[in-house]
Amino acid sequence: MTVIPLVRTRRAVLVSAVCALVVTATGLTGCGGDDPDAGTNGVGKLSAEKIQSRTRKAAEGADAVRLSGAVVSNGRTYRLEMRLKADGGTGSVTSEGANFRLLRVGEHLFLKADAGFWSHQEGGTSDGGPADTAAAKKLAGMYVKVPTGDPAYKRFSGFTDKDVLLDGLLTLHGTLAKDGRHEQGGVRTVRITGDKGAGGSLDVSLEGTPYPLRMVRAGGAGTLRLTDWGKDFALEEPSKKETVDYGKQLPTS
């Protein structure tokens, strides 16, 4: 009997025909899974150094990005949920139980928090800072304009600066190497590492523009997801009714 070989032959012919159709329609190669780079943007074939260069260029050229995750800085862990673009950013920050919102439009930085946050900032009364619960309640729920000369401006404005933040986050330390293919949010990625992961790792999209999608910082200094590349969002200063201009310096702890 030759039924089984005949069925197999017909199946092979059918698969070949489908493969040819796909190649003709899309221009892709490697039908059947022989080429792991089939249908990708091609960066997976590059060296780790070139992949890092490509993803940095892609990130710098993007109009906007959403950044989510944790960053450890000066011994403190900050959980971020930020949207950033060239002229500012907005989002929430949580650190040591305190939660507040940041909004920067151009050089103007605003901070919004509840009374509990401002109560923990008490202490510096010589410069007019609030020293009682009533003052903290007055600031609660309002956008407080942060003076450019205040230490808080330097401390928090970096969280709203796309270029500054990404420049620091996308840096891998040590010898670069590729660490296989992975997936982030349903998107295929290639991973590059510094010193086999001790210097951080970065997942770069293999689909479309090679944007960085996940960053693990060196030394356990946080893990971040980067999404919504190029998706614009509204960025406006709060109204005067929502704003308190604190003057030369914010309350200090």
Which pLDDT tens digit goes with each residue over 135-144?
777 888 899 9
69 and 57 housed in the same domain: no
Contact 90, 235 (CB under 8 A): yes
Residue 203: predicted pLDDT: 98
CA 166 – CA 59 distance, rounded (Å): 8
**Domain span at 134:** 65-166+233-245
Residue 1: predicted pLDDT: 47
**Cut 0.95: pTM above it:** no
Domain annotation covers residue 35: no
Helix (H, G, I), strand (E, B) or coil at 250: coil
Question: What is the count of structural domains for the chain?
Answer: 2
Residue 181: predicted pLDDT: 95
- Does an H or E element contain 10, and which? helix 3-26
Domain annotation covers residue 179: yes
- Tens of pLDDT, residues 52-85: 999 999 999 999 999 999 999 888 899 999 999 9
